[in-house]
Structure 1
Amino acid sequence: MKQQKIELLSIVIPAYNEETVLERFHEEVTGILRSLSIRYELIFVNDGSSDGTLEKLKQLKAADASVSFIDLSRNFGKESAMKAGLDHVAGDAAIVMDSDLEHPPSLIPDMVAAYREGYDVIHARSSVRVGQSRARHLLSGSFYSMMNRLAGDEVQFADGDKDFVLLSRKALDSVLQLSEYNRFSKGLFKWIGYPSKTVYFEQGTREEGASKWKLTSLITYSIDAITSFSLVPLRFSSYLGLLVSFFAFIYMLVIIGQTVFLGNQVAGFPTLVTLVLFMSGVILISLGIIGEYVARIFLEVKGRPIYFVNEYVPSEHEAQQNAEGDDRDERAHDETDQ
């Protein structure tokens, strides 16, 4: 495997109402990055925060030229914020991580070491989650187990997989080609298929505040994940319809036989109501499954942008690269004119 070098490492950090922890996060991350003796840029994405997150980012930018920030016009969600940050990466490799310190900056050296070994995608997986309830641990494990069954061989997940990941430039460019509106980045990072490695860590509790993920948000996120990587629910509704039709046909033959040959009276109103309610439930379940896919097709067909940027202030490294690119374009234009 060919070894890779890093001239510039980009760190993409989505932030939503993280005012209280940003300064400490910046201090810990920059301390780790300086110990690696590599050039870096920190790309913070303010996802429509309602607290003082934006003001704190401006203060960090004023004190550290390696900081850049993207202020989105509203709260588009974490997936869109990650996409916004990745779109503005100038480095040879990029790390995506949360700003609440649940993703430990101390893992960055291990991820960089794996990248230098030649891996294009380095996933982070938590082996232990301090303070996580048994119920949530069980639900998380069940979700990933179900995803593995539904997604097949395209992607495989494990309990503890995070969207804390390092991408090489090649892997990043591939991810950026995937412009789907409903994004499940954790799956996309695996789907691209480049050589990958997993590094493990013990995930701690949040340093400040509480998780922004509500139960309804987690359910929506799970549905997005399933509909992004599997057609099994659609096939399930088809198989369910065939199965119900088969048993209905058998039941019809039994009723006809009992009536014609045995002279039994057909059960009346209770049986009819039960069958109608059962069939209505099957139909509604099937329509619900189909509706989830149709709704996502509708969102994709509209072709709306994934996010809008209210303000973008680049780091010194990206500004320098943009200036060098403009100079090259100008020289090429002059040579063409000559």
Structure 2
Amino acid sequence: MPASVVASAGSSPAARVTIVLPTFNERQNIQPILQQLLALRDRFQLELIVVDDDSADGTADFVKQMAHGEPCLRLIRRVGRSGLSSAIKEGLLDSTGDLAVVMDCDGQHEPAAVAAALDLLIARNADLVIGSRFHPDASIKGLSDKREGGSVLANRLARFTLPRYRQLSDFMSGFFALRLDRCLPMIRQVDSQGFKFLYELLSISRGNLMIEEIPLTFQPRTYGSSKLDISVLWDFGVSIIHTLLLRMVPRRAVSFALVGLSGIGVQLLISNLLILLGFSFVASLPPAVIASACSNYLVNNTLTFRHLRLKGLQLLAGLVKFLVVASLPMLANIGLASVFYARVANDTLFAQIAGIAVVFVWNYAASSRFVWNTP
């Protein structure tokens, strides 16, 4: 281990520390945060990396101008790629520090907590120090009752899926410090489309990290609004299932399968509605299957492949590609369901599910490659 890392935290600049700050439209919040973090130069060899997802409010331009007078400040401006987890991963992989800290740039994480996390990381020779909102000594000022309740539930589910880290109080924290030499192999494996970078890192580590926690004083957001939306909640559900499956199934395949379940609902709803209107089971299947495929395409574009989301004419072209890719499986779905219904069991539900199950793998692999152009 580099001598600088094990030097006393109270000595002259010892450890080389990288602080990764992912940003998206945080122009009003970032200036005071950077100014407070720059004060840490008295104690550490400091590197600040702002990873900006092409903010429209001038965040990157401000950081660029500030960096002209601050050599330790670096900007990574990302165009054509986005997402909190991928921004954190990119910042950590680009860092030159021995130690690294990740924190939000919305004013809810106090820069003063950085020194406390680093001191504990060094003093305990830990691999990871988590800033916890739910530590007994923490103070939560920046969460509504609804958000706090949701976070408590999320942490309970995370604790269930990560039994080797049951002692932790906040699996969903966006504030943590780590030793890069020990964590880098695991950081490289983190699925950057995951729900929370920290949760994904803990899942990959399989209980092998020595972890400490510090209490956070979690502040109200100073400016702007939360980035929490339905896609974040969806990612959380996918992450939980992905972990329960021991990460043996590709994460996108889990999401694709969940969307497929919604498509089953669409297909069953439409086919049963048409049957009630007097159509035969065989006649009701084609429109039901096509409607299900269209629904799956739109939901996958919004959730599963949202970082590659198609818009405008590309959205329409993608739908055509998706229907072409799915045409043979759709025919197989209709044919198998019809045969199952006629020869095996006179049950429309199981007949349709049998057809859907057979074509799932093809739809996932082919549409990933030919519609959203990803392996």
Tell me if both proteins adopt one fold, taking TM over 0.5 as the criterion: yes
- Tell me the equivalent position of 1:317: none
Q: 1:186 aligns to what? A: 198
Write the letter of the residue equivalent to 2:61: E
Residue 158 in structure 1 maps to residue 169 in structure 2: yes
* 1:198-224: CA deviation from partner (whole Å, max 9, x where unpaired): 01112010111111222x122122123
SS of the residue corresponding to residue 162 of structure 1 reads coil
Q: Does 1:67 align with 2:73?
A: yes
**Match of residue 202, structure 1, among 210, 213, 217:** 217
Give the whole-Å Cα distance in 1 for the aligned partners of 2:30 and 2:347.
Answer: 57
Distance 1:218 1:13 in 2: 19
Tell whether 2:235 aligns with 1:221: yes
Q: Deviations over 1:173-221 (max 9, x none)?
A: 123331535334212332422211001112010111111222x122122
5+ residue gaps, structure 1, are 238-274, 306-338
CA distance in 2, matches of 1:229, 1:67: 36
Given the two structures, how large is their TM-score scaled by the length of structure 1? Answer: 0.65
Shift of 1:225: 2.0
Aligned residues: 257
Question: 1:120: Cα distance to partner?
Answer: 1.4
Alignment of 1:1-338 (within 5 A): 4-5=6-7, 6-31=14-39, 33-35=40-42, 37-117=43-123, 118-126=125-133, 127-153=138-164, 158-159=169-170, 161-183=172-194, 184-191=196-203, 192=205, 193-214=208-229, 216-231=230-245
For the residues of structure 1 that align with 2:71 and 2:245, how far apart are their CA atoms? 47
Query: Which deviates further from its counterpart, 152-161 or 136-145?
Result: 152-161
- Conserved 8 A contact 1:181-1:299: no
Contact kept, 8 Å, 2:155 with 2:171, in 1: the verdict is no
How well do the aligned residues superpose, as a CA RMSD in angstroms? 3.8
Q: Distance in 2 between matches of 1:168 and 1:189?
A: 13
Larger Rg: 1
Provide closer, same or farther for how the CA distance between residues 131 and 171 of structure 1 changes in structure 2, counting only shifts above 3 A. same
Q: CA deviation at 1:152?
A: 4.1
Distance 1:304 1:4, change over 3 A: farther
Residues 29-66 of structure 1 show CA distances to partners (whole Å, capped at 9, x for unaligned) of 112x134x221010000112122011111111112111
Q: Which runs of 5+ in 2 are unaligned?
A: 8-13, 249-256, 258-345
Letter paired with 1:20: Q
SS of alignment partner, residue 63 of structure 2: helix
Distance 1:151 1:167 in 2: 19
Q: How has the CA–CA distance of structure 1 residues 39 and 139 changed in structure 2, closer, same or farther, with 3 Å as cutoff?
A: same
Number of the residue aligned with 2:273 = none
Name whichever structure is richer in strand by fraction. 1
| Amino acid of the structure 1 residue aligned with 2:241 | T
Shift of 1:17: 0.6
The answer as to whether partners of 1:182 and 1:296 remain within 8 angstroms in 2 is no
Q: For residues 366 and 217 of structure 2, what CA distance do their matches in structure 1 show? A: 38
Per-residue CA shift, 1:283-318, capped at 9, x if unaligned?
69x97xx979x9699869x9959xxxxxxxxxxxxx
CA drift of 1:100 comes to 1.3
Tell me the TM-score normalised to structure 2 length: 0.59
Cα distance in 2, alignment partners of residues 138 and 297 from structure 1 = 40
Of 178-187 and 15-24, more deviation after overlay is shown by 178-187
Q: Is the 8 A contact 1:13 1:96 kept in 2?
A: yes
Letter in 1 for 2:244: S
Give the aligned residue type for 1:166.
A
Tell me by how many angstroms 1:75 deviates.
4.6
Q: Which one has more relative contact order, counting CA pairs under 8 Å at least 6 apart?
A: 1
The Cα shift of 1:87 comes to 1.3
User: In structure 2, what is the Cα distance between the partners aligned to 1:296 and 1:152?
Assistant: 32
